[in-house]
Structure 1
């Protein structure tokens, strides 16, 4: 079984120059994604949250992660907008606590957040409050998060490349090709 950090580097380099921008970012990627993979392998569901500009990406992820052509077990994933479409109207920590209570009841505490978007969005607040969240934060430095820039002219392409790497990682973990704990 191969080490996750070495496998990640080889996967990035196998994409050629198109993904060379990510080599230096892999040090933030590896522990964050390893944590997410361990949670998936432990049976937790993914609650996906994006900012408004990345709603298209949430739809892309939820429609492709479990597509029929995948020859792997289905991964439980749901977009927060589908569970509670009024999220943007919540105000204050007490309202977020009520939403967290609803999610705890729904998933029996067996879930984690995957947030993709700007760090100063209200939608980021719920994921940032949880230590187990997978965070792809833009325009803000946040501990244990992959940091990106929303104003990067190639941001959409980079997000798709990262998703492709995430999906490839998921396959390799599910089929025992890599160990994310090493």
Structure 2
């Protein structure tokens, strides 16, 4: 018996299975929507009131931090450039080993009002820095913290969920800026 499958047939089967997996996981955010709405509303309000968002991640999610900062302010779109920046572009990793209060002092001089958008685990110097500042947009892996969204790091759909969260946030942000969504 020949076990080879033609690539077109294999691809169709794989695409359908992947689509079913994504569909099955779509309800996870609905269960956390009240917490999510609160975090998103607070972050959008921060930005619309002139605040800056500094995106930072743990080491395993650095790709996602770069995705956020390159996507949110991509050129060629009919929308404004927003004060959402890659934090690691602002400060070197060596600086994170120093006292967080000194870093916060330097950031307070540089930015009128800033908050951290942190994605990752809690056991890193960068997490400690992000937690030292109030009103962060915190997407925390494997631990529940007040005013943060908890995501499981061992979830096979983690990358999809991160991108889904970003896309929903991005739509809410620009919907609010263009008057299509009210934060009240």
Structure 1 and Structure 2 fold alike (TM over 0.5): yes
- Report how many residues are paired: 163
Pairing of 1:124-139 with structure 2 (within 5 A): 124-139=127-142
Residue 36 (1) aligns with residue 43 (2): yes
Q: 1:150: which partner in 2?
A: 153
- Counterpart for residue 102 of structure 1: 106
Worse overlay, 47-56 or 19-28? 19-28
Offset from partner CA, 1:3-38 (integer Å, 9 cap, x none)? xxxxxxxxxxxx965522211011210101100000
For residue 32 of structure 2, give the secondary structure of its aligned residue in structure 1. Answer: helix
TM-score between both structures, scaled by the size of structure 2: 0.83
State which structure, 1 or 2, has the greater radius of gyration over its C-alpha atoms: 2
Range 126-135 or range 53-62, more displaced: 126-135
1:62 matched to 2:104: no
**SS in structure 2 at match of 1:179:** coil
- CA distance in 1 between partners of 2:34 and 2:23 (Å): 19
Q: Distance in 2 between matches of 1:86 and 1:162?
A: 26
Structure 1 unaligned residues grouped into runs of 5+ = 1-14
TM-score norm. by structure 1 comes to 0.84
Alpha-carbon spacing, 1:88–1:107, altered in 2? closer, same or farther (3 Å): closer
Partner SS for 1:178: coil
**What RMSD over aligned residues (CA atoms) do the two structures have, in Å?**
1.7
Runs in 1 of length 4+ with deviation above 6 angstroms? none
Alignment of 1:79 onto 2:56? no
- Secondary structure class of the residue paired with 2:135: coil
Distance (whole Å) between structure 2 residues aligned to residue 102 and residue 87 of structure 1: 15
Aligned to 1:90: 97
